[in-house]
Structure 1
Amino acid sequence: MEKPQNRVFSGVQPTGNLHLGNYLGAIRNFVGLQQTHECIYCVVDMHAITVWQDPKELAANTREVAAAYIAAGIDPSTNIIFNQSKVAAHAELAWILNCVARIGWLNRMTQFKDKAGKDREKASVGLYAYPILMAADILVYRATHVPVGDDQKQHLELARDTAQKFNNDFGAQDFFPLPEPLIMGPATRVMSLRDGTKKMSKSDPSDLSRITMRDSADDIAKKIRKAQTDPDPLPETVEGLQGRPGAENLVGIYAALAGMTKAEVLAQYGGQQFSAFKPALADLAVEKLSPITDEMARLMADPAYIDGILSKGADRARAIADPVVARVKEIVGFI
């Protein structure tokens, strides 16, 4: 089976309230990669149901992520955009890889501990095992590169370990490539606007903690105006941001939106008060996000169009994934 060259796979969960962290940490990076890689972008609805989802909301949220991909600039004619549950190969390969990966590996996954909380006995088996499904998502396309945030690096390591063990266990040499991480940009980790020590999250009870991809210009300006900072002016060096999480977060967001480094932002705004910096950040955020928000709304008004994109993308995804699973079954000894 021919090895792919520079094939990217990544996905976003359709759990509602897409926010600035999803855009800067993932979706915007996907757009640039389509110039240099063969790209497969998934709406990972099977991952979403590791915690309970309202079925109607799940369907709407799946379309929202697809709309965000397209509105941000991902071309569905040259890249594959689809939702995970349409391609059965993901689940088939995940089961086989469940029998390759080791329980000890999963026990070391810190995200399960974070997401399950104190009452782990009530967490779903899917939430515990979902790093194996993530490995299957990547390996079923024999992807060579995966854009990931810092919080997903551990899961990508597990995917690499699982691929290596499969290759070794079955004498399959390098059947599965060992996917490499792509960590990009100055703001791969966007923090809460209300607490700069916590990641921006759709589950935070405060709507002021995040800028969503549906926010109006007024909403964006209000949230940035109310963002947590401190009474001191902006420092003139990046080192001066240490111990100032709110300031560091806003400078990082500005840098990412403007395509600048934090040092370049501080060269422009260092020594100024937040009363001057926040309006500039709000104007920049509105300039960059409003066109995407408007296009998302237009696309969401035509769900049949989005469903057509997802269906065509799934056909193209199956054309890659199904032969891989068929070969895996042969390697394993299924007849």
Structure 2
Amino acid sequence: MPDANTAAAAPNLHLAPYQARGLKGRILSGVQPTGNLHLGNYLGAIRNFARLQGDYECLYCVVDMHAITLWQDPKELASQTREIAAAFLAAGVDGARNAIFNQSAVPEHAQLAWIFNCVARVGWMNRMTQFKEKAGKDRENASLGLYAYPALMAADILIYKATHVPVGEDQKQHLELTRDIAIKFNNDYHAPGFFPVTEPLIFGAATRVMSLRDGTKKMSKSDPSDFSRINLTDDADAIAQKIRRAKTDPHPMPETAADAEKRPDADNLLGIYAALADRAKDEVIGEFAGKQFSEFKAALTELAVARLGPVGAEMQRLMKDPGHVDSVLRAGVEKARAIAGPILADVYRTVGFLKP
């Protein structure tokens, strides 16, 4: 098993260069280009990307290689890759300051992933719950990529020696695997501290937004009902209609957090309001306690349109200018490869690969 002392010591070695520059570390995060981006993607990830760029050196990628673990229409994949990049920019990520790129354009990701396939243990992969969920009952027909993609995710992070990764609750297990791979590589190749033991950045309740049709299920791109989610490109009328039709219960608004927790649909809408308003959920519960859902939904609609409308409009504008989006991606690839190339070369030397 990985050595705990090595795990504890390694991150500090990698943080020092960033701290000397007044930064907290280096971040790598990505979003899959599959289906429409929705409110959950925005609150759980994309909004935070812009907020982190002042404190960290940031690399944000469109993880198109992860997307094809399930078959994707090639034309749609290319279009959706641009859409994700446009969403990053529309949410306020500075493409000149940070690296915004598509994963497949940086081959070092795949090259390091193969080495990590040889470092990771089958038992570790068998414990990955997301494979079980995505493969379902027909696991024998799932792609090898779907089974092995946690090793690619580890490579995404460690090819840049990222010190931190913003993650939702459902990704914590993959980050733990990344940490295990880093520690095992460092130990196997007698290279203490070579890879950092990457730390998670978890943003609390806003990382988990539930379906508007079922407060017990996560908001998802794959839900067949478009009324289960607010898409980032929805206009004001669509947002208003979806919030009006969001599932509630026959009682007035909850009066306490304990009451809200027993009512998942109400609790979800309160959490969305709190996240969009950047307020504590308890404060929002207090403001709307005992009021009718119609009054709360009207306030939520006004807030959602104000916050999401400009993002969606800017996304639409950027999608009409694919040349600009592609230029941002090309620049991001250059920045990413400038970091990844030397690290991969060090990995190859450490492993013992011959460079004739």
Normalization by structure 1: what TM-score? 0.99
Shift of 1:185: 4.2
**CA RMSD, 1 decimal:** 0.9
Shift of 1:66: 0.2
Out of 66, 72, 75, which is 1:53 matched to?
72
Counting only pairs closer than 5 Å after superposition, residues 169-248 of structure 1 correspond to structure 2 as 169-248=188-267
Residues 49-78 of structure 1, C-alpha deviation per residue, up to 9 Å, x if partnerless?
000000000000000000000000000111
Contact 1:185 1:256 in 2 (8 A): no
Out of 251, 254, 258, which is 2:270 matched to?
251
Shift of 1:16: 2.1
C-alpha distance in structure 1 between counterparts of 2:204 and 2:57, whole Å: 20
Tell me the matched-pair count.
334
C-alpha distance in structure 1 between counterparts of 2:133 and 2:298, whole Å: 35
Is 1:326 matched with 2:345? yes
Out of 145, 153, 176, which is 1:134 matched to?
153
Counting only pairs closer than 5 Å after superposition, residues 86-165 of structure 1 correspond to structure 2 as 86-165=105-184
Q: Secondary structure at the match of 2:208?
A: coil
Is 1:17 matched with 2:36? yes
Q: What is the letter of the counterpart of residue 186 of structure 1?
A: A
Out of 33, 36, 53, which is 2:55 matched to?
36
Shift of 1:236: 1.8
Out of 10, 26, 29, which is 1:7 matched to?
26
Q: Secondary structure at the match of 2:205?
A: coil
Q: What is the letter of the counterpart of residue 73 of structure 2?
A: D
User: Identity over the aligned pairs, expressed in percent?
Assistant: 68
Counterpart of 1:65?
84
C-alpha distance in structure 2 between counterparts of 1:43 and 1:230, whole Å: 38
C-alpha distance in structure 2 between counterparts of 1:10 and 1:187, whole Å: 17
C-alpha distance in structure 2 between counterparts of 1:104 and 1:205, whole Å: 34
Contact 2:35 2:222 in 1 (8 A): no
Q: What is the letter of the counterpart of residue 275 of structure 1?
A: S
C-alpha distance in structure 1 between counterparts of 2:136 and 2:237, whole Å: 35
Q: Secondary structure at the match of 1:42?
A: strand
C-alpha distance in structure 1 between counterparts of 2:76 and 2:194, whole Å: 38
Q: What is the letter of the counterpart of residue 297 of structure 1?
A: Q
Counting only pairs closer than 5 Å after superposition, residues 69-84 of structure 1 correspond to structure 2 as 69-84=88-103
Gaps of 5+ in 2: 1-12, 19-24
Residues 240-289 of structure 1, C-alpha deviation per residue, up to 9 Å, x if partnerless?
11221100100000000000011010111111111110111011000000
Q: What is the letter of the counterpart of residue 292 of structure 1?
A: V
Is 1:280 matched with 2:318? no
Contact 1:229 1:246 in 2 (8 A): yes
Shift of 1:186: 3.0
